[in-house]
A and B are shown apart, each in its own frame.
Chain A
Amino acid sequence: MTTRTVTVTRRFNVTPEQLFDAFLDPAIAGRFMFATPTGEMVRVDIEAKVGGAYTFVDRRDGEDIEHVGQILELDRPHRLTFQFAVPKYDPTNTTVRLDITADGIGSVLTLTHEGVDDAYLEQTGKGWAMILENAVQVVG
């Protein structure tokens, strides 16, 4: 049962390999992944293998905010799945999955970010109208 799902699709003018590698290269990932305009990315460690850990430390107003996780799937250049948490704000792990396909001379990335707690809402992302529709069906 999946919950709280966000999906974003985007096309890039680079090969699937270049796109895939950008997420695992600390020099590049540190500039777009968890960077904030006012923060300073002070440390990025990525152990690029299945089971490998990663850490992004963004310094915001003198406070270090750690983004941590573990790589769950690594199938270059098609699929990269990792757990993601910001322990300072919320210890809950969420899962981010990247699916990359070739598209002409470029690539299309579909990013799916989902919560992992079964107790959460099943229909997230489909909106409240859908929830009520289901409810009406339950009532009969």
Chain B
Amino acid sequence: MNANPQLDNTLIALADPTRRAILARLTQGEARVTELAAPFAISLNSVSKHIRMLERADLVVRRRAGREHLLTLNPAPLDAAQAWIETHRALWTQRLDALDAIFEAQDKDSSR
């Protein structure tokens, strides 16, 4: 198992309902920080903190247009999270295949 700080950032970013809601909003397209903050009963400041965590995880990309900060979703790291799961599934499948082969070989030996 490789250390994977990128994946850790992704998973930590996804672990919070507010951040998942922000991402869900961004799947509908680019949005201003104030637009993203509007549905939440928390301060603009704490929404900004959530956005910074999403940026650190590369899930959100910020671009400045004059005075406005526009945010877009970057789905690439999500594929990495999925990759962790798929990698481990493949590893265990491979190990259990190997075990099955050992049993098959033993079976042949004993019936010889």
- Residues of A bordering B, CB below 8 Å: 3-4, 6, 8, 10, 12-14, 18, 22, 28, 31-35, 85-86, 89-90, 94, 109, 111, 113, 119-122, 124-125, 127-128, 131-132, 134-136, 138-140
Compute how far the CA of A140 lies from the CA of B39 in the bound complex, rounded to whole angstroms. Answer: 9
With both chains docked as a complex, state the minimum distance between the C-beta of B34 and any C-beta of chain A, in angstroms.
Answer: 16
B103 pairs with A18, CB closer than 8 A: yes
Q: Looking across the interface, which residue of chain A has its beta carbon closest to that of B93?
A: A8
Q: Looking across the interface, which residue of chain B has its beta carbon closest to that of A6?
A: B88
Task: Judge whether B56 is part of the interface by a CB distance below 8 angstroms.
Answer: no
Of all A-B residue pairs in the complex, the 6 with the closest CB atoms, nearest first, are A135-B24, A135-B20, A32-B98, A90-B3, A32-B99, A121-B11
Q: How many A-B residue pairs have CB under 8 A?
A: 100
B1 pairs with A86, CB closer than 8 A: yes
With both chains docked as a complex, state the minimum distance between the C-beta of A87 and any C-beta of chain B, in angstroms.
Answer: 10
Compute how far the CA of A103 lies from the CA of B101 in the bound complex, rounded to whole angstroms. Answer: 19
**Per-residue 0/1 for B84-101: is the Cβ within 8 Å of any A Cβ (1 yes, 0 no)?**
110011001101101110
A121 pairs with B81, CB closer than 8 A: yes
With both chains docked as a complex, state the minimum distance between the C-beta of B39 and any C-beta of chain A, in angstroms.
Answer: 6
B85 pairs with A125, CB closer than 8 A: yes
By a CB distance below 8 angstroms, the chain A residues around B104 are: 13
Compute how far the CA of A29 lies from the CA of B36 in the bound complex, rounded to whole angstroms. Answer: 52
Compute how far the CA of A120 lies from the CA of B95 in the bound complex, rounded to whole angstroms. Answer: 26
Q: Select B102's contact among A22, A94, A128, beta carbons within 8 Å.
A: A22
With both chains docked as a complex, state the minimum distance between the C-beta of A44 and any C-beta of chain B, in angstroms.
Answer: 14
Q: Looking across the interface, which residue of chain B has its beta carbon closest to that of A134?
A: B20
Compute how far the CA of A120 lies from the CA of B9 in the bound complex, rounded to whole angstroms. Answer: 9
